[in-house]
Amino acid sequence: MASQGIQITGITMAIVGWLLEITACGLPMWKVSAFIGANIVTAQTFWKGLWMDCVVQSTGQMQCKVYDSMLALESDLQAARAMIIIAILVGVFGLILSVAGGKCTNCIKEERSKAKVCICSGVLFIISGFLCLIPVCWSANAVITNFYNPMMMNFQKYELGSALYIGWAATGLLLMGGGLLCWNCPPKSERLYAYSRPNSAAYGRVYAPPSNQPYTVAGGYAPSKPYAAPASYPASQYL
């Protein structure tokens, strides 16, 4: 069974990864405009996120606008929206179960049940990590593919935003934290075996041959000579 320190480390890593997951979901920096060709003198930087796009001026001013229609988004960002939200919700359930199955809490009394709940929380954190990894890698692949596409104009090309790197970090922490929680094996239960007393009626009488040792009586008394029965009794003794 895993020690309390390993369990606390796993919960801490999973919680930090879950918070980074929320951060990656809210940041509008999934795609950042690339400064290549004539764009190197551009005084504006364009950001694209899951919920809004932003324009950052060279003076530091930033203007953001929420997407008017979800259908106007690229397919990778549409899928990322749904999967990141599901990943965050799965992480919430994993967080609740990790607190209930923690060694330092008394929500569950039985150690074996507590260990099983902790393992379930680890599995949920691992699922949350994979749900975060898929949209992040999908968006990164779309950015790289469009960047090297000769048919795309330079102003249409983007680079990897900081939200993608945060998503990768969140995935790593969730997978490692969930793995440590799954290491919490339940203790083996001790089995008690009951043995019934044998019934004497089930067994027959056992014959034992007579012993050749002289007859003794408790108290130290022993006959001086062995007793011998008379061969016959005269009838006059009974008249």
Predicted confidence at residue 1, as pLDDT, reads: 47
Predicted confidence at residue 125, as pLDDT, reads: 95
4-26 vs 111-147: helix axis angle to the nearest 10?
30
Rounded to an integer, what distance in angstroms lies between the CA atom of residue 167 and that of residue 111? Answer: 35
Q: Which domain covers residue 94, as residue numbers? A: 4-30+73-182
Please say whether the beta carbons of 122 and 181 come within 8 A: yes
Predicted confidence at residue 112, as pLDDT, reads: 80
Residue 214 lies in a domain: no
Residue 206 lies in a domain: no
Residue 17 has pLDDT above 90, yes or no: yes
Mean pLDDT of 119-129: 94
Predicted confidence at residue 184, as pLDDT, reads: 67
Residue 160 lies in a domain: yes
Rounded to an integer, what distance in angstroms lies between the CA atom of residue 15 and that of residue 10? Answer: 9
Residue 66 lies in a domain: no
Residue 131 has pLDDT above 80, yes or no: yes
Mean pLDDT of 155-170: 90
Residue 200 lies in a domain: no
Residue 144 lies in a domain: yes
Q: Write down the mean pLDDT value for the chain.
A: 79
**Which of 71-75, 126-130, 174-178, 197-201 comes out lowest in average pLDDT?**
197-201
Rounded to an integer, what distance in angstroms lies between the CA atom of residue 160 and that of residue 141? Answer: 9
pLDDT-derived band at 107 (thresholds 50, 70, 90) equals confident
Rounded to an integer, what distance in angstroms lies between the CA atom of residue 131 and that of residue 88? Answer: 9
Residue 126 lies in a domain: yes
Predicted confidence at residue 116, as pLDDT, reads: 86
Mean pLDDT of 109-120: 83
Rounded to an integer, what distance in angstroms lies between the CA atom of residue 21 and that of residue 88? Answer: 7
Contacts of 143 (CB under 8 A, 6+ apart): 31, 158, 159, 160
pLDDT tens per residue, range 49-97: 899 989 888 777 888 888 888 777 888 899 999 999 999 999 999 999 9
Residue 193 lies in a domain: no
Per the structure, the count of domains in the chain is: 1
- For the whole model, what pTM was predicted? 0.71
Share of the chain above pLDDT 90, in %: 35
Q: Which pair of structure tokens corresponds to residue 129?
A: 């990590």
Of 116 and 126, the one with more pLDDT: 126
CATH number for the domain harbouring residue 147: 1.20.140.150
Residue 142 has pLDDT above 70, yes or no: yes
